[in-house]
Structure 1
Amino acid sequence: MKNIRWLVIPLRVLLVVVFAGLLLAQLFSLPGQFSHMAEESPRLGVIPWLLLAFWILELLCVQIVIVCTWRLLTLVRADRIFSEEAFVWVDAILWAMATGWVLVAGVSAYLVGFIYVTPELRDPGLPIFLFGMVLISGVVVLTMFVLRALLRQATVLKTDLEEVI
């Protein structure tokens, strides 16, 4: 674990920078962008505000993952990553990622339906992109489930080894 510990500080610095950027986006950039969109295109109705809510929730999911990763890094530094305490944070990461995936899948399905109802928007590029995003997000979430199972196995093996010694 000693060779991993030197990575904790730079990773934490990057996590703080990303968290601050996401917070700025949630508080200033996104509301301004979607407010401008609503003013410029009143025919869109509530769609800009729904998109604002979607993006704020998506960024909140990422922020939850950042906070949980920070807590897992604390366990790494204390050499307690292979403990039951780690599963609380890993499970929170999984719930945040699964929630983000459900949001992406739902909004993508809605947008693809909207595109095919509106004849002037029938470009296949956006539905293909959205389908790809749903697939990639699903792969990331399922990979996290596999990593959680590996952490569980390693924790059990470490506990068994400590009992033998």
Structure 2
Amino acid sequence: MLRARWSVLLLRVVLVLAALWLGVLAVLSIPGQLSDEALAFRIPAQAVLTIVVAAVLVVIVCTWRLLTLVQHDRIFSEASMRWVDAIVWALAVSWAVFAGGAAVLVGVIFFTPELRDPGLPMLLFGMVVLSALPALLMLVMRGLLRQAIDDRAELEEVI
């Protein structure tokens, strides 16, 4: 149990640091990086990146709530499913927005002859594919949690 407490504490510290970093990123870094770009690019890019950052912040809050359920030994309950569902939806929405933004950017690159370079589209394709992994992993973890909740309920009936 002592190891679990330290793990939860360490994870909470990392979540706070990640949330602070994302806040600085959203407020200072993203607008600063995009300030020299054309308005037609800056506004959509900033919107896409802000939605992705907000979704990650939602995931951080939900993870914090799940850690609270772990501490109270209630992780294998229906209450945890709500938070896992919120994580899945946040990841799915952020992936869809990011994939849509990447697709538009690749389209602009493809239809602009002086920008045609396969490097950035290939990089974006890899990022879109890799960014789908957390959402898909959470779907698998959600199924495992559902099975554990059902097994625990069945075990409690037997006892």
Provide TM-score, normalisation by structure 1.
0.91
Q: Distance in 2 between matches of 1:32 and 1:81?
A: 41
Counterpart code for 1:163: E
| 2:105 corresponds to 1:111 | yes
Could you list the runs of 4 or more consecutive aligned residues of structure 1 that deviate by over 6 angstroms after TM superposition? none
Stretches of structure 2 lacking an aligned partner (at least 5 in a row): none
- Quote the offset at 1:131 in angstroms: 1.0
- Quote the offset at 1:120 in angstroms: 1.6
Q: Which residue does the alignment assign to 2:88?
A: 94
Equivalent in 138, 141, 144 of residue 147 of structure 1: 141
Q: Distance in 2 between matches of 1:32 and 1:125?
A: 24
Once the two structures are overlaid, the 10-residue window that deviates more, 71-80 or 44-53, is 44-53
- Is the alpha carbon distance of 1:154 and 1:3 closer, same or farther for their aligned partners in structure 2, counting shifts above 3 Å? farther
Q: Distance in 2 between matches of 1:104 and 1:31?
A: 17
Q: Which residue does the alignment assign to 1:24?
A: 24
- Is the alpha carbon distance of 1:105 and 1:126 closer, same or farther for their aligned partners in structure 2, counting shifts above 3 Å? same
> Is the 1:101–1:137 Cα contact (8 Å) retained in structure 2?
yes
Secondary structure at 1:123 match in 2:
coil
- Quote the offset at 1:145 in angstroms: 0.5
Q: Which residue does the alignment assign to 2:66?
A: 72
Q: Distance in 2 between matches of 1:33 and 1:49?
A: 12
Q: Which residue does the alignment assign to 1:15?
A: 15
Secondary structure at 2:69 match in 1:
helix
Provide TM-score, normalisation by structure 2.
0.94
Q: Distance in 2 between matches of 1:20 and 1:62?
A: 12
Q: Which residue does the alignment assign to 2:47?
A: 53
Q: Distance in 1 between matches of 2:71 and 2:19?
A: 21
Secondary structure at 1:46 match in 2:
helix
Equivalent in 121, 127, 135 of residue 129 of structure 2: 135
Q: Distance in 2 between matches of 1:23 and 1:73?
A: 22
| 2:80 corresponds to 1:82 | no
Secondary structure at 1:7 match in 2:
helix
Once the two structures are overlaid, the 10-residue window that deviates more, 73-82 or 116-125, is 116-125
